[in-house]
A and B are shown apart, each in its own frame.
Chain A
């Protein structure tokens, strides 16, 4: 049983369920100090994965869908850790499904998926089942129905919360699969990222920012 990161994992604090957290148990600076104990190659792969699928990176999306596909393909070529690759594919699948739901809500047809055709194994499946409410993927991704409901109701906050919960639940078994290995470390990092994003949510600030954007648009036009 390979347990290369016993000290590192033991030096990481307990992360409470993100929806119950009142504060982050560890700062980014301190987390990075602890992550210095990672093997160089593992650290490089984790950095690539973070740049690609961390929650906060998903807020700073690349300019076009084609850019996103190119970036993910390039990153995946450099990532050899099987569990990390699986997680990245899961996140990309999740984003592709949400993109499909959004495009359909906006009145597009299946051809709108063309720019992301190489992003995920599900793109062709989604295009084929475009008229099905859940793209016939509810058995694989049980959250699709709930996500569709939030999209239909323009409830972005609830949708974010659902997506965070889905990722969090996915990371739990990954960490358990190798409690003192790389899997536990990267699961912690992505969970911490979600927790930070959750704590950074500020309804008042978001409303103010939204109103500023509306004003900007009105002034431009």
Chain B
């Protein structure tokens, strides 16, 4: 039983980074695809679209920080906590990055035709980022309560 609990601890330890990275890959690919399409249609402001396409990469950074915060000597006492916290934080980061990619793609798609709505069209992506930040911050807060 003890090896299984320790294995789950390792899963939880690496989950925020791995799942956050998977989410960022999906999100950046979606938004990047939209940016590539928009580049065919617009004459200028290409950097703006590529910049928006990079927005879902922040979840990987959050994942790195959470993984670092959870890092400690794994034991039977702390592994279940690390597993639960790490896995759920990772899933939150995965889904938020993926959803943010869709929001960024939509923003790029509409703002290429109407530049003046570029800022406001990013609001949904910013909201999604906000939820990712909640998941990130509270993962850090709760990580402090897991036994060393």
Contact between B105 and A10, CB atoms less than 8 A apart: yes
Interface size on B, residues (CB 8 A): 17
Cα(A13)–Cα(B102), bound, Å: 19
With A3-B102, A180-B105: A10-B37 Cβ-Cβ less than 8 Å: yes
User: Beta-carbon contacts of A122-139 to B below 8 Å, as 1s and 0s?
Assistant: 000000000000000000
| 1/0 contact string of A1-28 vs chain B (CB within 8 Å) | 1010011111111100000000000000
The answer to whether A179 and B109 touch across the interface, beta carbons within 8 angstroms, is yes
Sorting the interface of chain A by its residue count into under 10, 10 to 19, 20 to 34 or 35 or more gives 10 to 19
Nearest A-chain residue to B98, judged by Cβ: A1
Q: Does B36 contact A (CB under 8 A)?
A: yes
A3 touches B114 (CB 8 A): no
Q: Does B38 contact A (CB under 8 A)?
A: yes
Of the candidates A6, A7, A10, the one whose C-beta lies within 8 Å of that of B112 is: A10
* Measured CA separation A14–B41 after assembly (Å): 10
- Is there contact, CB below 8 Å, between A6 and B105? yes
Is A209 in contact with chain B by the CB < 8 A criterion?
no
- The digit string for B76-110, where 1 denotes a CB below 8 A from any CB of A, is 00000000000000000000000000100110110
Residues of A within 8 A of B109 (CB): 9-10, 179-180
Contact B35 A10 (CB under 8 A): yes
A34 at the interface (CB under 8 A from B): yes
Give, as a whole number of angstroms, the nearest-CB distance from B103 to chain A: 11
Q: Is the CB of B37 within 8 A of A8?
A: yes
Query: How far is B31's CA from A180's CA once the two chains are assembled, in angstroms?
Result: 11
Across the interface, name the chain A residue whose C-beta is closest to B108: A10
Chain B residues positioned under 8 Å from A1 (CB to CB): 102
DSSP majority for the B interface? helix
Q: Answer yes or no: B75 CB below 8 A from chain A CBs.
A: no
Report the nearest A residue to B37, measured CB to CB: A10
CB neighbours of A10 from chain B (8 A): 33-38, 41, 105, 108-109, 112
Q: How far is the CA of A6 from the CA of B106 in the complex (A)?
A: 9
Residues of B within 8 A of A34 (CB): 40
| Most interface-central of A11, A12, A13, A34 (chain B CB within 10 A) | A11
Contact between chains at B102 and A9 (CB < 8 Å): no
Q: Given A6-B30, A6-B33, answer yes or no on A13-B41 (Cβ-Cβ < 8 Å).
A: yes
Q: Which B residues fall within an 8 A CB radius of A?
A: 30, 33-38, 40-41, 102, 105-106, 108-109, 112-114
Residues of A within 8 A of B (CB): 1, 3, 6-14, 34, 179-180
- Add 19 more A-B contacts to A7-B37, A10-B105, A11-B37 (CB < 8 A): A3-B30, A3-B105, A6-B30, A6-B33, A6-B105, A7-B36, A8-B37, A9-B37, A10-B34, A10-B37, A10-B38, A10-B41, A10-B109, A10-B112, A11-B38, A11-B41, A12-B37, A12-B41, A14-B113
